[in-house]
Chains A and B, each alone.
Chain A
Amino acid sequence: MTDVTREPHSLYDRLEPLLASVARPIQYVGGEVNSIRKDWADAEVRWVLMYPDTYAVGQPNQGLAILYEVLNEQDWILAERSFAVWPDLAELLSAHRLPQFTLENHRPVGAFDLLGVSLSTELGYTNLLAALDLAGIPLHAADRTGDHPIVIVGGHGAVNPEPIADFIDAAVLGDGEEAVLAVSRVLRAWKAAGRPGGRDGLLERLAITAGCYVPRFYDVGYLPDGRIEAVRPNRPGIPARVEKYTLQDLDDWPYPKAPLVPLAETVHERYSVEIFRGCTQGCRFCQAGMVTRPVRERSIDTIGRMVEAGLAATGLEEVGLLSLSSADHSEIGSIARELADRYAGTNVSLSLPSTRVDAFNVELAEELARNGRRAGLTFAPEGGSERLRRVINKGVTEEDLLQTVATAFTGGWRSVKLYFMCGLPTETDEDVVAIADLAARVIEAGRRATGQRDIHCTVSIGAFVPKPHTPFQWAGQADIETIDRRLRLLRDRVRADRRYGRAIGVRYSDGRPGVIEGLLARGDRRLGPVIEAAFRAGARFDGWSEHFDLDRWLAAAESGLAGTGVDVAWYTTRERGWDEVLPWDHLDLGLDRNWLWDDWQAALAEDATADCRWHGCYDCGVCTSLGTRTEVGPTGRHLLPPAAAPGPA
């Protein structure tokens, strides 16, 4: 081993006295069941895996749990975790000159080789800067030396890393499992070769050999009108386009096997198995569905083995069968029935995130509720009128919805939740007010199906934010006044309904963070100074309503964009044209730009695009360009019997 990095001391003894005066101190101490502590000296490559939000939000993150195991299974790699510290502790750490630390051994983050940050949302960017600052790592990648970790980001919030290009060294697109190992191998080889070329030499190898996107190896030119002229590599060997990683066979990567079990309270407390990755339902607003294609199913027997071993390793009582639309697994019926059979009579409960509007979804929920616990039912029509649902490619008719809820109410449910979005492309006031009428007919259908009056429906509405790598990437984002007006009209309509109004609850999230989310989501490198100014002005935890401050962000945009000729509206409410170079066009998530544009035009024409799993390929470009394929069953196999099966009930 050529590594000479001195082993850093644990900061715990200095941290401990501070913990007496902070909220929820347990989140900072580590030592959870299944956490992994390795010797510093034995590792050749040392990672910090960070999620830039609190422990409660970040620890249950599935991606983090997977990479933690994938990395630590290698005897030459060490990976420790770090989370955003809450402002009370951040203040104390600064006052006592203590840095951002890891949870396994309370080592300073700055002593590691790599700081890998999982970004789920653009509203985590300021927490990334806060962590770098607290860690003593220069905010600007250009100011870092060989003594500083490589700052590398991934996750859905990193598919357009241009706004944070100044602050990161590299980004990974797509699935992380193989990528983190490729990055680790490059780093090990570079260290073994005597660190040729220094930090830049390593970044060059990461770009060329490990398929990473290294923003500083690309120059961005601008047109006089503010649009991007071109993005070009600025040194030899650097690819003009960076492709995403795709894990083809999920059965070969059955992680997490033994996720760590928090002592502190977290947002999800269950053992989650991803039953498939990717989604081709084709909802045009959905970035997750677009960037994770193709669909790759995990087989029923692997799922069964993972659930059995995962429960034993954690002592958890709830199993989550995760994916973007879990009812779509080709063998979900067998999976649900056989798991429910296996755990009948125990206190293990099963849950399945699915908001598909059909009777089969209700049947699945009934199957999973057999053990007594009955979760709430949620359906996501997303748009209030059939016309708008055609625009977003959510082919749900009103009849579908009413039949589905009638099935649910007949099955014993007394309340359902409906998800919608406000501010979708082509949306009118009438489309949003139509939500009230739809909810009223849901109540009516429920009362008719059950003969009872205690039927309730909660309508939950979020503001739509156009995202990169989707057909709506060209769309103008609705301004906040429009969204507020439509939500007010909807609320008034529900209130005025004497027959059904009291049975309908309307919930909506604050629309203001959506402005900044939209700014950052489709932003370019000119937003670096904006993010930095917001951070310097105290922006942290922007995903938390008690911390988010729109005025602080708008002031930061005003100063950060001064002299560029573009402003917040230019980034958010402006519709883009076909020939405009988008900041992320050189980042290849597999989607053919022409297909995205055609699908955008189909949206405007209210035409449907049918799911390629059942209706044939429509050439979105992913499989052909990346050499991947859709991997779906049915396999015809079954869960393996558990080691010591209880007799049939």
Chain B
Amino acid sequence: MESKRRQPTQQPPPVQWLALRYCKRGRARFTSHQDFGRAFERALRRADVPMAYSSGFSPHPRISYANASATGAATEADYLEIGLAERREPAAVAAALTAALPDGLAVLEAVESTGRGLGERLTASHWWIDLAGADREASAGAVAAFLAADRVWVERLTKNGVRRFDAREPVLRLEAEEGGLALWLAHRVPLVRPDDVVQALAAVESAFVPEVPALYTRLAQGVWRDGRVIGPFEDAAADPSPAAS
């Protein structure tokens, strides 16, 4: 008897790509990357964003993420791109998505993009590390000792067991401030995270013992130039391939 197996329908390519900057604030910092992904896909539907879908038996909306923050870290500067099946005004899409997302998640900026190369423009981050109750002097001492070192080894439990790596090399700049630390960090492989740097500070200065767990917030993400992190929408010159059409 004849088999009735079906071929998947081919989906047309997106007619427009949008790059979005989004935030996770307050309680929403506890969303994992997958949690955010599900919430974002539902918000796309509630906001009636005309998404383009991938081809295949199980079509997915065209979304590509770049460097998502870790679970538990807040962010003002995470990025993703979406491919649309119909053209839309970027600012209107951002506003509609923010309205449809749960509290603490919002789309802060949207620009037209190419759907390629966003990750290459996100090579460094600016973090604020909130250390409520930490001793300012001990923090300053720890920062000075850390910056003076060539290498500071830390360990982290990963899926593949305990990994040991240098937390010093990717640190571009680190300053002790009132109530916390400002950190500028290059994205390397393996990725050194701000909590790794806090662990390294405790390793070089025994007086540095945060009383409560630190809170991490990514303030900016982009390329490191002239002593600061320049976001991908901030610097058109840094864009190797301006949006077509």
Contacts and interface: CB of A to CB of B under 8 A. Distances in A.
Contact of B1 (A25, A30, A316, A449): A449
Interface in B65-90: 71-72
A26 B105 CA distance: 13
Given A31-B103, A412-B3, A372 B43 contact: no
B191 interface: no
Interface string A243-279: 0000000000000000001011100010000000000
B178 to A, nearest CB: 20
Contacts of B6: 372, 412
A410 interface: yes
Contacts of B34: 265
Interface stretch (B51-59, B138-146, B166-174): B51-59
B156 interface: no
Q: Which of B3, B30, B53, B213 has the most CB of A within 10 A?
A: B30
B117 to A, nearest CB: 28
B104 interface: yes
Contacts of A347: 53, 59
Q: Which of A24, A263, A316, A449 has the most CB of B within 10 A?
A: A263
B72 A25 contact: yes
Interface in A493-549: none
A160 B145 CA distance: 67
Contacts of A5: none
A106 B6 CA distance: 50
Nearest to A20: B213
A312 interface: yes
B161 interface: no
B31 interface: yes
B32 to A, nearest CB: 7
A451 interface: yes
Contacts of A19: 30, 72
Interface residues of A, number: 35
A264 B46 contact: no
B11 to A, nearest CB: 11
A31 B104 contact: yes
Nearest to B100: A315
B32 A26 contact: yes
B224 to A, nearest CB: 28
A30 B42 contact: no
A449 B3 CA distance: 9
Contacts of A33: 39, 42, 102
Contacts of A20: 72, 213
Interface string B1-43: 1011110110000000000000000011011101110110111
Nearest to B53: A347
Given A26-B32, A265-B34, A372-B59, A17 B212 contact: yes
Nearest to A106: B27
B151 interface: no
A389 B30 CA distance: 50
Contacts of A330: none
A616 B28 CA distance: 56
B54 to A, nearest CB: 11
Interface string A15-32: 011011100111011111
A372 B3 contact: no
Contacts of A453: none
A147 interface: no
B45 A31 contact: no
A312 B36 CA distance: 20
B97 to A, nearest CB: 11
A106 to B, nearest CB: 10
A334 interface: no
A373 interface: yes
B5 A17 contact: no
B32 A24 contact: yes
Given A20-B213, A31-B104, A261 B3 contact: no
A31 B72 contact: no
Interface in A69-102: none
A315 B53 CA distance: 17
Contacts of B39: 33, 261, 263
A265 B102 contact: no
A450 B103 CA distance: 52
A43 B104 CA distance: 27
Contacts of A261: 39, 42, 102
Given A265-B38, A315-B45, A410 B4 contact: yes
A416 to B, nearest CB: 16
Given A263-B35, A265-B35, A29 B30 contact: yes
A24 B35 CA distance: 10
Contacts of B43: 315
A31 B38 contact: no
Nearest to A314: B42
Contacts of B45: 315-317
A26 B114 CA distance: 33
Given A20-B72, A31-B27, A315-B45, A263 B102 contact: yes
Q: Which 8 A-B pairs have the closest CB atoms?
A: A315-B42, A315-B46, A29-B27, A25-B30, A315-B45, A412-B4, A20-B213, A26-B30
24 contacts: A12-B27, A19-B30, A24-B32, A25-B72, A26-B32, A28-B30, A33-B42, A263-B35, A263-B102, A264-B35, A265-B38, A312-B46, A315-B41, A315-B42, A315-B43, A315-B45, A317-B42, A347-B59, A372-B6, A372-B8, A372-B9, A372-B59, A412-B3, A412-B5
Given A263-B36, A264-B35, 14 more contacts: A19-B30, A19-B72, A21-B213, A29-B28, A31-B28, A31-B103, A31-B104, A263-B31, A314-B42, A315-B43, A347-B59, A372-B59, A410-B1, A450-B3
